[in-house]
Structure formats: C-alpha cells, structure tokens
Structure 1
Amino acid sequence: MKAVQFSRYGGPEVLEIVEIEAPHPGPGEVRIAVRAAGVNPSDWKRREGQYRAFEEVRFPSGVGVEASGIVDEVGPGVSSTYVGDAVFGYGNGTMAEHAVLTHWVHKPDDLPFEIAGALPVISETAWRSLDELFVKAGETLLVSGAAGGIGSAMIQLARIRGITVIGTASLQKHDYLRELGAIPTTYGPGLAERLRQLAPDGIDAAVDVAGSGIIPELIAITGDPANVLSVADFSAEEYGAKFSHGPPKEPERVLADVARLYSKGLFRLRIEQAFPLEKTAEAQIASAAGRVTGKLVISP
C-alpha cells in the first residue's frame, strides 16, 4: 500500500510516498481503508522534531493520527464493529491507503467521510480544554486564533455549554466566526481595549490556539494565569498558565457526542481543502502557514 513517511527530522522535503506492507490490527484495534485523514499542526511539528524532548519517534515514521474509513480487518477482542462498518477515530500513520485505529466510533450516515476524518483531534482537544479551564455557562471565553480547526470546535462546544465566545481572527474570517456563534475581533495591538468594549464585564478565561506568543497578554486580560490555557505554546506553563496536551481523554465518548451534535445540526466543520496523498507536503506547508479556516484533509 502507499503511505507517507519520513526517515529524519526536517522540512516538508523529508516526506516520502512509499510502498509498504499494510498493517494489521492488534487486540482491541481495527484496520480501515482510509477515506480521509485530518491534517493537524502536530503532524509538521512532529516532523520538524519539536516533540523530540518528550516523544519518541521511530524512523521511518508514518504521518497522521486521525482518519475515517471502512473497516476491512478486525483485531482480536473487538466486538460490535465489523468488516464493512464506516468509522472514524484515532490511529497512527493514518496518511496511507490503510491504517490501524486504536480508538474509534461508528460514523453516522449523514456525516461525510471528509469531515469525520478531521474531527477527532480538534473536537477532543476543544472538549478537554474547556473542561480544564472550568469555564461555565454565563461566562465569557476568549479564543485566540479562532478560525482554525480547534478554534472552530471550541467556539461551538462552548456555545452549547452556554458560554459567550469572543474569537480573534483576520478580518476576512469574521463572518465565519459569526456563523459559528462567536463575537469576532481582530488580533494585534489594541486587543485589550477592543475586548473591554465587547465584554464590559471582563473576560473570564482565554484559550491560545495559535501559539503566537500571546500568553502574557492573555494573563493580563483575564487577570489570572489559572484562567489561561494554550494548546500550542509550550512555554505557557513558564508563565503559570496551563498547557493542555494528549493523550486524548475518553475519546470514544467525545467523538460519539460530537457526531450526534453534527447529526442534529449543532456542530459543523469547514473543510478548506482536500489533498491527495501525494500532496501531503503541500498540505503541511499550508497548515504551518497558519491561515487555514477550518481543516485540511488528505484523501488517499
């Protein structure tokens, strides 16, 4: 089968399309014929070696941690999932024609494969971050870098919880944020003053999705490092703020809930572009540029 791999840390040029033997599921796992695999910043950060201090990468390494597809092999001990089932979830090396999933749920018929393959990381990260911030109904949350995948999920899940959301993004993305239920504003100089006008009673909590070096400013805006969380800036804890990271917590429950929300019309995700497997490097370059609205996917 075809798969994307890299054999050393580096830029997008280290990615290769290779022919390898298809993997087989172990106990409690399933294998899928991949229909879509989500592109995440963690993919290119891992490729660049940014995670080497706390995560072992064995070369050659596959790429991708989430996907949707059709089950074509079931591992020992798996019940209630069968060959032919449509599923989506977490795995390793998912940017390939076949991939093994370690955590998954069944895909509703009305949830497109492209969207399902891009849901796991952003929905679990957003859900977990809201829980870790203890932000609750009636409070106001600031999402810095709100138009990407995690920001899109966080806005909608927060609104479902009764939380008011203000999101920062470039001006051309403000209509998108409004559609998701957020109050948009621009980032950059004067943010604190703009927020005072939008939220006279103050900002209760803030999430940094973009990793743009804004942690000290968010602490000043919320008044307490404990009210600030980042999913992208490794230095957050140096300022007393929280840094949220995997592994995912209760992924099956979260994915099943988000799938139900999608089916009820309460959750949406924009897929900005789908790339073929051979264009994975281009997809990672686009992701690293930081201007994606919603998500990018790879469709083998």
Structure 2
Amino acid sequence: MSFAEYGGPEVLRLVDVEEPHAGPGQVRIAVRAAGVNPVDWRIREGQMQRFHPIELPSGVGQDAAGVVDEVGEGVEGIAVGDHVFGGGVHTYAEFAVLSAWARVPEGLTFQEAAGYPSVMETALRVIREVGVEAGQTLLVSGAAGGVGSAVLQVARDCGIAVIGTASAANQDYLRGLGALATTYGEGWVDRVRQLGRVDAALDLAGSGVIRELVELTGDAGKVISIADPSAPESGARFSNTAGSMSEALAETVRLISRGGLHIPIEKSYPLADAAAAHIDSQAGHTRGRRVLVV
C-alpha cells in the first residue's frame, strides 16, 4: 500500500514495489496482519511533515505480525519460520522489515498481536512522561481506543487510578478495564470533578480539550497530548517522539503472559481495504484496535 501525494484516503493505492530486505539488526516478515494507527492517516494527510518528514511516494504502516522469512546480519535468537510481532516501516504490505520484534505470545492470533506494538510503546511513554505515580489519579480523554485501552491496563498494573472519558456506548468497556468512566460532551468537566481529583491528564483523541485538562489538573506541565500538535500553546506538551519499541514489546509480552493485558480487535479489513480502515479510524469511537489482514 502506497501514496504518492498527501490527501484523503483516496490517495492510497495498492501497488507492486520491489521487495524489502532485512539489513543488519533487522528481520523481514511475511506479513499476516498490520496494525492501523491514527498516526498512519495523519501522515497520509500531511499533518506530521514537520515532525516526521517523508519522501513521496511512501509506504504506510508501522506495526505488523507475521512469519520471519529473512534474518539480517547480527541478529541472534530468532530464525526463519518464527512467529513475531513488532515495529518497522511500510507494514501495509506482503513483506515488511522490522527493527524491533518479539515472539507472538502463546494463544494470540497474528491479528491480535499486530494491534499491540505502537499502542503499548505510546502508552508506556506518555505515562512515564506525564509523571503520574502509584496512588495518584490519571485522567484519560479518549480512553476507549487502542492507546487508551493500553494506558488503562498499564496504569492498573502500576497502581494508578484512572478516570476515562469515552462515548456512552463505551462506558462499560472502560469500567471493565478498571477505570472510573464518564462521557464527553457538554458538562464533562463537572462530571470528571465529581469522580475525584485529577493529578495528571492525557489527551489521546485530539478533540480540543487541552485547556479543560489544564484546568482540571491545575498544572499544564501535567498534561500531555499525542493527538493535538497545538497543545504547547496552552502550556501542555505534545508527545510524538517514540521511545524504545523493544522495551515496549517485552512489557507487552510480560503483561499478556500474566493475563494483565488484552486489547480487543474492533474490526479487521483486507489489505486492499486500507482506505476504509483509515476512514473508520478517523471517525473515532473505536473500542480497541483496527487491523489489516494480509
């Protein structure tokens, strides 16, 4: 899957390109499933040019799960035929090169595994960056999506209380992940206050709530957005620099093996329907993850 110009989902094209090959410290996989992340369509629209400039035409995607079919120089502990999931580039494809990977945990399908890499890296990063600690309360705006689902479960494992906002249809889902839940929309700030004090806040949806999050925390330095580049205008931070994917994958495997992490698949799409996956992702209200099946 590729795009030759910035624009809407119609710019995506399924094209034939030369197969990539694993370089030193990399593996190539025959992709079985690729994760769909909001950053994918933000890059396609050109929103991320000043943060992550790319050359056009460009492939799409950064998360995948599949079967190792090529091992780069210096790679140890993994062999052709192993089932792995991880992060790389241009993963909406039949073959993709991964720069970080882990074995697919027992019992997980390729589709499920492809939904974890970026959301777990992001969740671990923003919880660390926002400086919330055990015994404190974290407010998560847009809590039902992939990153939100991960944040709620990582926070629970760390002893951090969470208040999450989501649509009315996702209230029970948030409560099932251990959060206090309320809807967004008119009066949401008051509803959050009724649920308790807020020590730190995350904006995961980019829905224009930064000022309200600063008001609720009383400290702009305790507010981070992953979806609103204008957050610094209100004194908050915009987090877009990825941390260690290898560490995130290791933590993912640890939590899954303990039964402490599960992110559901909202919907799977054939690779050729990547545009439809982007349209649905951009519409929001996702519960968990969307993935492409190759």
Task: Answer yes or no: is the 8 Å Cα contact 2:144–2:287 preserved in 1.
Answer: yes
Q: CA deviation at 1:21?
A: 2.1
Task: Answer yes or no: is the 8 Å Cα contact 2:41–2:278 preserved in 1.
Answer: yes
The DSSP-based 3-state class of the residue aligned with 2:205 is coil
> Pick from 241, 248, 251: which aligns with 2:245?
251
The residue type equivalent to 1:241 in the other structure is: A
The residue type equivalent to 1:228 in the other structure is: V
> Pick from 249, 252, 271: which aligns with 2:265?
271
Counterpart in 2 of 1:91? 88
Counterpart in 2 of 1:17? 14
Give the aligned length.
Answer: 294
Q: CA deviation at 1:53?
A: 2.1
Counterpart in 2 of 1:236? 231
Counterpart in 1 of 2:289? 295
**What is the alpha-carbon distance in structure 2 between the residues aligned to residue 291 and residue 278 of structure 1?**
23
Q: CA deviation at 1:54?
A: 2.9
**What is the alpha-carbon distance in structure 2 between the residues aligned to residue 120 and residue 238 of structure 1?**
30
The DSSP-based 3-state class of the residue aligned with 2:15 is strand
Counterpart in 2 of 1:104? 101
The residue type equivalent to 1:114 in the other structure is: Q
The DSSP-based 3-state class of the residue aligned with 1:16 is coil
The residue type equivalent to 2:234 in the other structure is: Y
**What is the alpha-carbon distance in structure 1 between the residues aligned to residue 170 and residue 42 of structure 2?**
25
Q: Does 1:161 align with 2:158?
A: yes
TM-score using structure 1 length? 0.96
Q: CA deviation at 1:182?
A: 0.9
Counterpart in 2 of 1:66? 63
TM-score using structure 2 length? 0.98
Q: Does 1:137 align with 2:131?
A: no
The DSSP-based 3-state class of the residue aligned with 2:208 is coil
The DSSP-based 3-state class of the residue aligned with 1:87 is strand
> Pick from 193, 210, 216: which aligns with 1:221?
216
Task: Answer yes or no: is the 8 Å Cα contact 1:43–1:64 preserved in 2.
Answer: yes
Task: Answer yes or no: is the 8 Å Cα contact 1:167–1:185 preserved in 2.
Answer: yes
**What is the alpha-carbon distance in structure 1 between the residues aligned to residue 282 and residue 168 of structure 2?**
20
> Pick from 126, 145, 148: which aligns with 1:148?
145
The residue type equivalent to 2:213 in the other structure is: L
Task: Answer yes or no: is the 8 Å Cα contact 1:111–1:262 preserved in 2.
Answer: no
Q: CA deviation at 1:46?
A: 0.5
Counterpart in 1 of 2:201? 206
The residue type equivalent to 1:239 in the other structure is: S
Q: CA deviation at 1:251?
A: 1.5
Task: Answer yes or no: is the 8 Å Cα contact 2:105–2:256 preserved in 1.
Answer: no
**What is the alpha-carbon distance in structure 2 between the residues aligned to residue 211 and residue 99 of structure 1?**
30
Greater Cα shift, 100-109 or 164-173 = 100-109
Q: Which runs of 5+ in 1 are unaligned?
A: none
The DSSP-based 3-state class of the residue aligned with 1:216 is helix
1:145-191 per-position Cα deviation (integer Å, ceiling 9, x unaligned)? 00001100001101111011010011111111111111110112212
> Pick from 114, 117, 124: which aligns with 1:120?
117
Task: Answer yes or no: is the 8 Å Cα contact 1:30–1:102 preserved in 2.
Answer: yes
Task: Answer yes or no: is the 8 Å Cα contact 1:177–1:183 preserved in 2.
Answer: yes
Greater Cα shift, 256-265 or 126-135 = 256-265
Task: Answer yes or no: is the 8 Å Cα contact 1:276–1:299 preserved in 2.
Answer: yes
Q: Which runs of 5+ in 2 are unaligned?
A: none
The residue type equivalent to 1:211 in the other structure is: G
Identical aligned residues as a percent: 54
Q: Does 1:178 align with 2:180?
A: no
Greater Cα shift, 222-231 or 186-195 = 186-195
**1:44-63 map, 5 Å:** 44-63=41-60
**What is the alpha-carbon distance in structure 1 between the residues aligned to residue 244 and residue 236 of structure 2?**
24
**What is the alpha-carbon distance in structure 2 between the residues aligned to residue 245 and residue 55 of structure 1?**
9
